[in-house]
Structure 1
Amino acid sequence: MTKQFSLAHLTALGCSPPELIYIAARAGYDFVSLRPIFMGLPGEPNYALAENKQMMKETKAALSETGVKVLDIELARIYEGLDPKKYLPAFEVAAELGGKHVLSSIWTDDRNFAIECFQELCDLAEPFGLTIDLEFVPIASVKNLKGALEVLHAAKKENAGLMIDAHHFHRSKDKIEELDTIPREWFHYFHLCDATSTIPTSADEMVRILREERLYVGEGGIDVASIVNRLPEMPYAIELPNLKRSQELGYEEFARHCLETAKDYFAAHPRTSTVNP
């Protein structure tokens, strides 16, 4: 089966959605993963397409011209006091652009509130044909596979999914054998990257690496092949922010290197496992 790849926005966050699409097309990607939900982080560009009609028009034109498709949008964070309806305009954008999935993560320790919000997100997304894919993040409230599975089992929503990031899986010290018990229909796409095998003990250093210094697949110490061999075949979104390299190479050449090294890695590590293919 031919692998499909998406260029995740965080890999080239300085690029507007139209720019990202053109770069993805020239570099050979099948999809893009966009960030039309503005989170207000320091230095974060605002790509809220629901509020920027001109950029939305240019994004649709770029998709039409290149044939690149939208895989998913992000990030529908769940945090204390959230009204999930806040994300409705972004869901409308995703559907209009042909996207299929919405990435979510949980940043509140109020478990009942988090589950209720996640359920509401699923209900809001369902009419648009979107899934809500929960990502566990080692610096968030739901920080490992166990926590994510607890939410998904409690939510019991047909359009819910689980999105695993290679970096987060490794940093959370999860075991690959745990992947065998997960319903296959929960997997829609996977975040591909690498990082050093040493897990930072400092939260600040963890954040710095995950946002600024991830590595090409096969370059670090994460056994990516062992993870993906336990999972069904699905699109791979390359989320690989590396500020130094993207500045040195430029976003397009960096995105091309990210894709080429990922393809080289998979060629050198063909799927051999038959566990839940």
Structure 2
Amino acid sequence: MEAEWKRQDASIAHGGYLLSLAYLTVPDVSPVVSVELAAAAGFDCVGLRLLPAIPGESIYPLISDRRLRNEVRAALSDTGVRIGDLELIRLGADSSPDDFAGFFECAQSLDARNVTVIGDDPDEGRLTANFAALCERAAPYGLNMNLEAIPWTALDRIESAARVVDNARQANAGILLDAFHFSRTGADFEVFGQIDPMRMHVFQICDAPLRFDAEPAAIRREARTRRLLPGDGELPLKKLLEHIPASALISVEVPNDQLILQFSPLSRAKQVMSATSRFLASCDARASAAKHPPGQP
């Protein structure tokens, strides 16, 4: 119980948002160690990967290895850390919701709520139907299915993700907004007028320079190996945060090969938390200044 209260106090200190240590920030450790790192660095939650993002990717077999899963459950209980989001379900043209039954069962056993979904079908009508069916299949497990728009996938823009979510008409359909992908696709802030804020379940935060190599392979390489700590780049993070409801989870995803080479996993987790805390504190200070200009009570 003491650990749980510590996690709650941490969220209060960050503007009321729950903060999650994303899988790709510390991809070089086991799921149990990920939970322990999240706790040591002061995160409320942790993100884990249950299915590979690319063919041949090596991940820990949480779905099939019940002993490992029980070890993760024990670590969550001991630390008070919760599961932030689970990765990832890739919906292709031939995908069926039944393909992910093991994923759903594992997610439920870990008391997870948010699952990241990638839309990799160029036929938006078929993708929408499959996504709706996926949401229906996941609902009994208490899971939100959150679409993430990624520049190198078929569902490459936040506008498209919002359209699929709306047309799916499922209560547990949501959006994961990634600050990096939003910037690199040239998305306009006007898109938020088309999105129900309560569908924004997860905000994935990092930083990056405004200028970038627009070649697709270069964008993918930057996304996977060169993201910056929040506040160390030029992305419009504060403006993005204005569109994120307090109910959303903030997942701090900073895959950076140089940080992996130079620092231990614990050091990285603490650096990420420190940078994110400074960023959120600066947002709170700006909001307070706007409400109470100098010379006014």
The reply to whether residue 11 of structure 1 matches residue 6 of structure 2 is no
Give the match for residue 99 of structure 1: 112
The reply to whether residue 53 of structure 1 matches residue 66 of structure 2 is yes
What amino acid sits opposite 2:155 in the alignment?
A: V
The 8 Å contact of residues 147 and 161 in structure 2, kept in 1 or not, is answered as yes
C-alpha distance in structure 2 between counterparts of 1:72 and 1:29, whole Å: 13
Give the match for residue 82 of structure 2: 69
The 8 Å contact of residues 86 and 107 in structure 2, kept in 1 or not, is answered as yes
1:175 to 188, 193, 204: 188
The 8 Å contact of residues 22 and 48 in structure 2, kept in 1 or not, is answered as yes
Q: Deviations over 1:166-208 (max 9, x none)?
A: 0011111112232133112202121010112113221111111
Give the match for residue 156 of structure 1: 169
Unpaired runs of at least 5, structure 2? 1-14, 291-297
Structure 1 length-normalised TM: 0.94
The reply to whether residue 192 of structure 1 matches residue 205 of structure 2 is yes
Q: State the 1:40 CA deviation.
A: 4.8
Larger Rg: 2
Name the Cα RMSD after superposition.
1.7
The 8 Å contact of residues 198 and 245 in structure 2, kept in 1 or not, is answered as no
Q: Which moved more, 1:119-128 or 1:46-55?
A: 46-55
C-alpha distance in structure 2 between counterparts of 1:45 and 1:238, whole Å: 22
Structure 2 length-normalised TM: 0.88
C-alpha distance in structure 2 between counterparts of 1:149 and 1:236, whole Å: 19
The reply to whether residue 132 of structure 1 matches residue 145 of structure 2 is yes
Size of the aligned set, in residue pairs, is 273
What amino acid sits opposite 2:277 in the alignment?
A: K
The 8 Å contact of residues 91 and 125 in structure 1, kept in 2 or not, is answered as yes
The reply to whether residue 228 of structure 1 matches residue 241 of structure 2 is yes
Give the match for residue 208 of structure 1: 221
C-alpha distance in structure 2 between counterparts of 1:200 and 1:106, whole Å: 24
1:29 to 34, 43, 46: 43
What amino acid sits opposite 1:125 in the alignment?
A: A
C-alpha distance in structure 2 between counterparts of 1:17 and 1:130, whole Å: 20
1:257 to 251, 256, 271: 271
Give the match for residue 241 of structure 1: 255
C-alpha distance in structure 2 between counterparts of 1:200 and 1:91, whole Å: 38
Report the secondary structure of 1:70's partner residue: strand
What amino acid sits opposite 2:243 in the alignment?
A: R
C-alpha distance in structure 2 between counterparts of 1:40 and 1:162, whole Å: 21
Report the secondary structure of 1:22's partner residue: helix
